[in-house]
Structure 1
């Protein structure tokens, strides 16, 4: 029979073995946890590193995806100029900037004058004319001048040369004078800046365009820097324009002999799809 000391030693040994077993199990558990944490950290580092390479942590402001302004419209004060007419303003964004558009000017003098508007070269002028035409701004207004430069001047409902909408806009497609010939004796025919049939804006003051436009019935080249933005070309109704050019002129209120003796009235001015129906209006005259 085992002595008490042997039993005590066996019990102590068993206790020691149990302690060691528990320590070993804890160590295995710790290693498993450490391995899992390490793998998770590795995945996180890979994801974060990819995001960093992709620029996710760049300090730049987010890209502005809003549409940029195509045109800017400068307000004009109708209180200081009572000849101005309030018709709102065209949009500033998402405006056509390519191709051409058709403008049809139906007068009381014959077949309509058809103009190809150069939208690509003068998008703001095209946008402004379209806006005004859509509000019948030009309908039943007079072309109040046959200028000394050889153009019919229209687009001012007041007939004073001071009228227009309550906004203005900058020059577009402003031509330049041709270079002088190196030798007068060998000089070719001078290049015309505003050929017959050219349609251009006339600003008051220069560079401040509104609604007034010129239709040249003969070639014109200024001696100074050109100041009329070209916006299009007449493609139909040149006979009407030629007949209008023969109307005699009398002095206007400023004493300039530019006022047509016979009133010239724009019955309608339409742009785009609305222009298709415009030629039938001439049959009513």
Structure 2
């Protein structure tokens, strides 16, 4: 009797131990499976995160490249508009040029005059803002049918043009004071050149620092001017016409002020054009 019960108890313990062992084995398998699945999930997340990061950074690089490309080759220019209230009548308002101007390539400036064409070459790398202003003004017909209002034959040799008030029959008393409704800073000052303004140079007139507008002068003989005026470009053809005007002399109308006077051989700009940017 006793031995039978002991055998039964032993068999029960054995079954229990087998069940416990099976449960333990199943639990280990579940843990292993969960660990594998968890590791795989983490790996997927890591890979996905890496791909996203690489894509994002790559996209930023592309954006940066595009942004650089959109600004590369351009200069930020400042055109200071004069207050509208109290503007003198000789100021001609044709709006402002774009602030971003190309600073690469060259342009051809052509003055169609009553004496024939005068052509000059402008280097955009040196005068992006001034060339941009000229392009804007030319597109508005700002210079068309205006007279070159001043000639200087003593001390310096220059023919000055670009005043929209020097128009019509005869000369106005306001000659030399007209311009656009904005001014700009000087560019390409010839501080290292001797002479600063040799024959053939076209430079911008001003009434002091930061007042460059539309008036310009063509140098028809080496002139000892202080290097305070933007060198716009160089005449490539038509200098013989300017020299003819210089040889004819002036009427000394500005002798007591800035010097010189109206050229006796009148020069009328029928049209000023600026070519597309080349190069």
TM-score bracket, shorter-length normalisation: 0.7 to 0.9
State whether structure 2 residue 270 is matched by structure 1 residue 267.
yes
State whether structure 2 residue 168 is matched by structure 1 residue 163.
no
State whether structure 2 residue 112 is matched by structure 1 residue 103.
no
State whether structure 2 residue 139 is matched by structure 1 residue 134.
yes
- Uncovered stretches (5+) of structure 1, i.e. residues with no partner: 57-61, 179-190, 275-285
Q: CA deviation at 1:43?
A: 6.7
* Map of 2:94 onto structure 1: 87
Secondary structure at 1:113's aligned position in 2? strand
Partners of 2:99 and 2:151 in 1: CA distance = 33
TM-score, structure 1 as length reference: 0.75
State whether structure 2 residue 184 is matched by structure 1 residue 173.
no
State whether structure 2 residue 206 is matched by structure 1 residue 197.
no
The within-5 A match list for 1:40-79 is 40-41=41-42, 65=67, 67=71, 69-79=75-85
Secondary structure at 1:268's aligned position in 2? strand
Conserved in 2, the CA contact under 8 Å of 1:136 and 1:268? Answer: yes
Partners of 2:75 and 2:265 in 1: CA distance = 43
Alignment root-mean-square deviation, CA:
3.4
Q: CA deviation at 1:216?
A: 0.9
Partners of 2:235 and 2:99 in 1: CA distance = 27
* Map of 2:35 onto structure 1: 34
Conserved in 2, the CA contact under 8 Å of 1:114 and 1:234? Answer: yes
Secondary structure at 2:261's aligned position in 1? strand
Secondary structure at 2:251's aligned position in 1? strand
Judged with a 3 Å threshold, the aligned counterparts in structure 2 of structure 1 residues 262 and 77 are, in CA distance, closer, same or farther, namely farther
Partners of 1:89 and 1:140 in 2: CA distance = 21
By percentage of residues, which structure has more helix? 2
* Map of 1:215 onto structure 2: 218
CA offsets, 1:213-250, max 9 Å, x none?
A: 0001111013xx32111111111112211121133422
TM-score, structure 2 as length reference: 0.76
Q: CA deviation at 1:51?
A: 9.0
Partners of 2:256 and 2:196 in 1: CA distance = 28
Count of aligned pairs: 253
Partners of 1:261 and 1:111 in 2: CA distance = 17
Q: CA deviation at 1:207?
A: 3.5
Q: CA deviation at 1:120?
A: 2.1
Conserved in 2, the CA contact under 8 Å of 1:207 and 1:227? Answer: no
Q: CA deviation at 1:77?
A: 2.3
Secondary structure at 1:217's aligned position in 2? strand
Judged with a 3 Å threshold, the aligned counterparts in structure 2 of structure 1 residues 269 and 63 are, in CA distance, closer, same or farther, namely same
Partners of 1:194 and 1:253 in 2: CA distance = 21
* Map of 1:17 onto structure 2: 18
